[in-house]
Amino acid sequence: MGFKQDFVWGAATASYQIEGAAYEGGKGLSNWDVFCKQPGNIYENHNGDVACDHYHHLAEDVALMKELGIKAYRFSFSWPRLMPQGTGTVNPDGIRFYQTLIDELLQNGITPYATLFHWDYPYALQKRGGWLNPASPQWFAEYTETIIGLFGNKIKHFFTFNEPQCFIGLAFTGREMAPKLQVTRRDILQMAHNVLLAHGKAVQLLRAGVPGCKIGYAPTGSTYIPASNSAQDIEAARKATFTVDVNGDWPMGISWWSDPIFFGEYPAEAAQAFGDDMPAIGPNDMKIISQPLDFYGHNIYNSTPVKMGENGQPVVQAFKPGHPRTAVNWPITPEGLYWAPKFLHQRYKLPVIITENGLSCHDVVSLDGKVHDPNRIDFTQRYLQQLQRAAQDGVEVDGYFHWSLMDNFEWAKGYSERFGLIYVDFETQKRTPKDSFYWYASIINSNGSLL
Ligand code: GBH
User: Which residues, other chains included, contact 36 with Cβ-Cβ below 8 Å and sequence gap of 6+?
Assistant: 42, 45, 46, 47, 48, 49
Active site residues: 163, 356
Which atom belonging to ligand 1 lies closest to the Cα atom of 302? 15
Q: Is the Cβ atom of 302 under 6 angstroms away from ligand 1?
A: yes
Is residue 341 within 8 A of residue 354, CB to CB? The reply is yes
CA 287 to CA 265: how far, in whole Å?
9
Give 21 Cα–ligand 1 centroid separation in angstroms.
25
pTM: 0.98
- Integer Cα distance of 390 and 151 in angstroms: 34
Cβ 229 vs Cβ 167: under 8 Å? no
For the stretch 236-258, what's the b/e string if a residue is b when 16 or more beta carbons lie within 10 angstroms of its beta carbon? bbbbbbbbbebeeebbbbbbbbb
| Ligand 1 pocket mutation pick from 177, 220, 300 by most atoms within 8 angstroms of CB | 220
What are the backbone angles phi and psi of residue 224, rounded to the nearest 5°?
Answer: -130, 150
Picking from 199, 216, 225, the residue whose alpha carbon sits closest to that of residue 341 is: 225
Q: Which of 163, 177, 304 to mutate to test the pocket of ligand 1 (most atoms within 8 A of CB)?
A: 163
* Atom number in ligand 1 closest to CA 119: 6
Q: Report the C-alpha dihedral over residues 318, 322, 325, 330, rounded to 10 degrees.
A: 30
Residue pair 307/227 in contact by the 8 Å Cβ criterion: yes
How far apart are alpha carbons 161 and 123 in whole angstroms?
18
Q: How many residues does the chain have?
A: 451
448 close to 388: Cβ distance less than 8 angstroms: yes
Instruction: Tell me how far apart the alpha carbons of residues 448 and 451 are, in angstroms, rounded to a whole number.
Output: 5
Q: Please give the chain's pLDDT, 451 residues, in tens.
A: 689 999 999 999 999 999 999 999 999 999 999 999 999 999 999 999 999 999 999 999 999 999 999 999 999 999 999 999 999 999 999 999 999 999 999 999 999 999 999 999 999 999 999 999 999 999 999 999 999 999 999 999 999 999 999 999 999 999 999 999 999 999 999 999 999 999 999 999 999 999 999 999 999 999 999 999 999 999 999 999 999 999 999 999 999 999 999 999 999 999 999 999 999 999 999 999 999 999 999 999 999 999 999 999 999 999 999 999 999 999 999 999 999 999 999 999 999 999 999 999 999 999 999 999 999 999 999 999 999 999 999 999 999 999 999 999 999 999 999 999 999 999 999 999 999 999 999 999 999 999 9
